[in-house]
Amino acid sequence: MKVAVLVKHVPDTETRIQVKPGDKKINEEGVTYIISPFDEFAMEEALLLRERLGDVQITAVALGPQKATEALRTCLALGADDAILVSDPAFEGADAYVTAKALAAALKGGNYDLILAGKQAVDDDAAYVGTAVAEFLDLPVINLVTKLEVNKAAGTAVAARDLDGYSQVIEVKLPAVFTAQKGLNNPRLPALMGIMKAKKKEIRTLNAQALGLAPNELGAEGAKVEVKEMFVPSKARKNKVLTGAPAETAPELVKLLAEEAKVL
Amino acid sequence: MDFRLTEEQQMIRRTAREFAERELAPVAIELDKTGEFPWDNWHKMAKQGFVGMTLSPEYGGGGAGLLEFTLVLEELSRVCASTAVILEVHNSLHAETIEHFGTPEQKQKWLPDLATGKKLGAFALTEPNAGSDSAAQQSTAVLKGDHYVLNGLKCFITSGSKADLYLVMAMTDKSKGNKGITAFVVEKDRKGVSFGLPEDKMGIRASIQTDLILEDVEVPVENRLGAEGDGFKIAMTALDSGRIGIGAQALGIAQAALDASVAYAKQRVQFGKPIAELQAIQWKLAEMATDIDAARLLLYRAAWLRDQGGRVSKEIAMAKLFCAQVAMRHTVEAVQIHGGNGYMREYKVERYMRDAKITQIYEGTSEVMKLIIASSLLR
């Protein structure tokens, strides 16, 4: 079987994001990058599929600048067999639509049985690319997957999704696209041996020309949305102080934590 | 000159840090209290590939260099110095030494299990009367036909009673002084091998140190590492590599102390503002950070030089000496920054301070490091 995993190189969630006034993108200086955590679930699921099914070829795919090879190299260290970097200066200013179009072009003809992606990237939170890739490739998509079982012989997969208040189990004929939700698995760390082997594995770079994309389909020109403004919001915290006897305020606090803050 | 780590080295460091936070951090405080041997940590490190990472892939090792191992030890020590030293002794003092000095048969016999962590290795040089004066070995090995008979008492043996294999130095010819020392690999289950109770220590409490008692232990000639009389050279070569590991341990502890101090200084309010705004605290933090960076540069240089081949005892001694000094000095400062809270077990800095002290003592005291540095200057 062939599995493609879409990963995005995003700023570390612990990074303090800065935007230069007037800029429409974040200031990348001093920013450390990680694989978007939902994509880590997708990658881990591919590895688990291989452990369960045996013969599974894993290809990690990312779109981004040259620096995004770091994310792909991590996937290779984790156990991906090879990787594709979709990279071209012409992608500057691309939105999720362009990204999905380019990724779909890179995946086309690859005969992947499963395409796995995170449900969204933690930088722009568009939650768009996985679904749009499926659309461009005319494949079924199941989003927010928390459980995935593949029946190789039947060429089908059964995926579970946890929705607000209920769960759904969906069977789909492969090939299909799945986007990973938290809870799908616990991503492992790359083993030392994997890290040492990763540098010998191939990362193919595909530019716009190789993908057969016209200039007007790329970057800001091909984008369906335009970023008008970008800024770091001022920290206005909505503090709420409960006054009264602890016996009375405690239940109120629990209620607020559960319903408003949604942390319980 | 390029001071950046390679992409691969950065990935190794990130992985080790994440591993330490994920696997070691939840148990480090409890392990320090109970002094229990962290077998769970050991098995997890084995699975992660840290055990045997510097051994050749031919024997199931990771084929990484000492610099990569240094990064791993530093990150593990930042969270649990006890767990780190178990790994350091196993890899640097034991397994690598067998790879370096063993015959093809010996390597084939022992290294695969040492590379996967199925077997744990220890190093037995120190004796009650042979500490810094390690050439003053009183343990003996007498050749009798196809085997040697070993007798003696080794002390402070890291992973004693837990390890499966012990690299033991013993005198085969007392008249030759340190040229009469020979190295042997002694299996734990040999008749006549026994252990003292675990020492009750100030720090690194979850790594176990015991006496190793050898009473008429018959060891086949095949278990001799190197030739008769090679033992001192073997031990010193092992310790050169090991000292980089102890430097990394010290550095990791110091970094942990700095990280804790920065975090605490930002949130601890006195005189109506966070103490981080007080110059007295800022100066402490600045000195800590500068010393730690200097220690790191010395250490990485030593590891890098060692990876290029040959003996670089002076550079290693400088790195070990300085890392250990920095760790001791600044863990004390970290407790000071934490004030009364720092003295309490709840705040980890008192553990860092207790753990730091041993780095100035084991695998060569600070004084021995100075001896090595001075002797290379005055040669």
State which H helix or E strand residue A84 sits in: strand A82-86
From first to last of the 379 residues of chain B, give the pLDDT tens digit. Answer: 889 999 999 999 999 999 999 999 999 999 999 999 999 999 999 999 999 999 999 999 999 999 999 999 999 999 999 999 999 999 999 999 999 999 999 999 999 999 999 999 999 999 999 999 988 999 999 999 999 999 999 999 999 999 999 999 999 999 999 999 999 999 999 999 999 999 999 999 999 999 999 999 999 999 999 999 999 999 999 999 999 999 999 999 999 999 999 999 999 999 999 999 999 999 999 999 999 999 999 999 999 999 998 779 999 999 999 999 999 999 999 999 999 999 999 899 999 999 999 999 999 999 999 999 999 999 8
Give the amino acid at B38. Answer: P
Across-strand partners of B212?
Answer: B154, B195
For residue A91, give Cα distances in angstroms to A94, B39, B106.
5, 50, 57
CA B164/CA B213 separation, integer angstroms: 15
Please answer whether residues B249 and B88 qualify as being in contact, where contact means their C-beta atoms are separated by less than 8 angstroms: yes
For residue B11, give Cα distances in angstroms to A76, A122, A257, B304.
12, 21, 38, 17
- Is A215 within a domain? yes
For residue B378, give Cα distances in angstroms to B365, B372, B373.
20, 10, 9
Minimal C-alpha gap between B361 and chain A (Å):
30
| Structure-block tokens of residue B335 | 């407790």
Tokens 């055990």 sit at which residue? B51
Task: List pLDDT tens digits, range B2-15.
Answer: 899 999 999 999 99
Contact of A199 with chain B, judged by CB distance below 8 Å, is answered with: yes
Which of these, B48, B168, B46, B166, lies nearest to B112 by C-alpha position? B46
From first to last of the 264 residues of chain A, give the pLDDT tens digit. Answer: 999 999 999 999 888 888 998 888 888 888 889 999 999 999 999 999 999 999 999 999 999 999 999 999 999 999 999 999 999 999 988 899 999 999 999 999 999 999 999 999 999 899 999 999 999 999 999 999 999 999 999 999 999 999 989 999 999 999 999 999 999 999 999 999 999 999 999 999 999 999 999 988 888 889 999 989 998 887 766 778 888 899 989 999 999 888 888 887
Output the pLDDT for position B48: 97
- Identity of the residue in A189, A191, A195 whose CB atom sits nearest the CB atom of B18: A189
Q: Which of A195, A197, A200, A201 to mutate to test the interface with B (most CBs of B within 10 A)?
A: A195
Please answer whether residues B137 and B124 qualify as being in contact, where contact means their C-beta atoms are separated by less than 8 angstroms: no
- Is A107 within a domain? yes
Output the pLDDT for position A64: 94
Please answer whether residues A78 and A40 qualify as being in contact, where contact means their C-beta atoms are separated by less than 8 angstroms: no
DSSP A38: H
Coil, helix or strand at residue A253 = helix
Task: List pLDDT tens digits, range B52-85.
Answer: 999 999 999 999 999 999 999 999 999 999 999 9
Coil, helix or strand at residue B167 = strand
Output the pLDDT for position B170: 97
State which H helix or E strand residue B333 sits in: helix B313-342
CA A30/CA A15 separation, integer angstroms: 9
Kindly determine whether residue A74 and residue B62, on different chains, have CB atoms separated by under 8 Å: no
Tell me the DSSP string of A108-146: TTS--SEEEEESS-TTT----HHHHHHHHTT--EEEEEE
What is the assigned CATH class of domain B121-229?
A: mainly beta
Chain B CB contacts of A78 under 8 Å are none
Closest-approach residue (CA) in chain A for B60: A193
User: Residue ranges per domain, chain B?
Assistant: 7-116, 121-229, 233-377
Strand ranges inside B230-313, DSSP E: 269-270, 273-274
Kindly determine whether residue A195 and residue B12, on different chains, have CB atoms separated by under 8 Å: yes
Output the pLDDT for position B294: 98
Minimal C-alpha gap between A193 and chain B (Å):
5
Kindly determine whether residue B49 and residue A192, on different chains, have CB atoms separated by under 8 Å: yes
Give the amino acid at A91. Answer: F
CA B81/CA A116 separation, integer angstroms: 39
Residue B239 makes CB contacts below 8 A (sequence gap 6+) with: B93, B125, B363, B364
For residue B323, give Cα distances in angstroms to A115, B17, B83, B250, B299.
49, 19, 18, 6, 8
Contact of B263 with chain A, judged by CB distance below 8 Å, is answered with: no
| Structure-block tokens of residue A148 | 């995935």
**In whole angstroms, how large is the CA radius of gyration of chain B?**
21
Count of structural domains within chain A: 1
Output the pLDDT for position A263: 82
Please answer whether residues B305 and B315 qualify as being in contact, where contact means their C-beta atoms are separated by less than 8 angstroms: yes
Please answer whether residues B194 and B140 qualify as being in contact, where contact means their C-beta atoms are separated by less than 8 angstroms: no
- Is A128 within a domain? yes
Across-strand partners of B224?
Answer: B184
Chain A CB contacts of B12 under 8 Å are 192, 195
Which of these, A153, A34, A58, A54, lies nearest to A115 by C-alpha position? A58
- Is A115 within a domain? yes
Q: Which of B4, B7, B10, B11 to mutate to test the interface with A (most CBs of A within 10 A)?
A: B11
- Is A250 within a domain? no
Strands A156-163 and A82-86: unpaired
B7-116 CATH, one of 3.40.50.300, 3.90.550.10, 1.10.287.610, 1.10.540.10: 1.10.540.10
Output the pLDDT for position A264: 78
Largest CA distance in chain A: 69
Chain A CB contacts of B48 under 8 Å are 189, 191-192
How many CB atoms sit inside 10 A of residue B149's CB? Answer: 17
CA B39/CA B363 separation, integer angstroms: 23
Q: Specify the CATH number for the domain of residue A61.
A: 3.40.50.620
Which of these, A70, A54, A57, A68, lies nearest to A5 by C-alpha position? A57
Kindly determine whether residue A191 and residue B48, on different chains, have CB atoms separated by under 8 Å: yes
Coil, helix or strand at residue A239 = coil
Is B363 a known active-site residue?
yes
Please answer whether residues A181 and A146 qualify as being in contact, where contact means their C-beta atoms are separated by less than 8 angstroms: yes
Which of these, B237, B249, B255, lies nearest to B320 by C-alpha position? B249
What is the assigned CATH class of domain B233-377?
A: mainly alpha
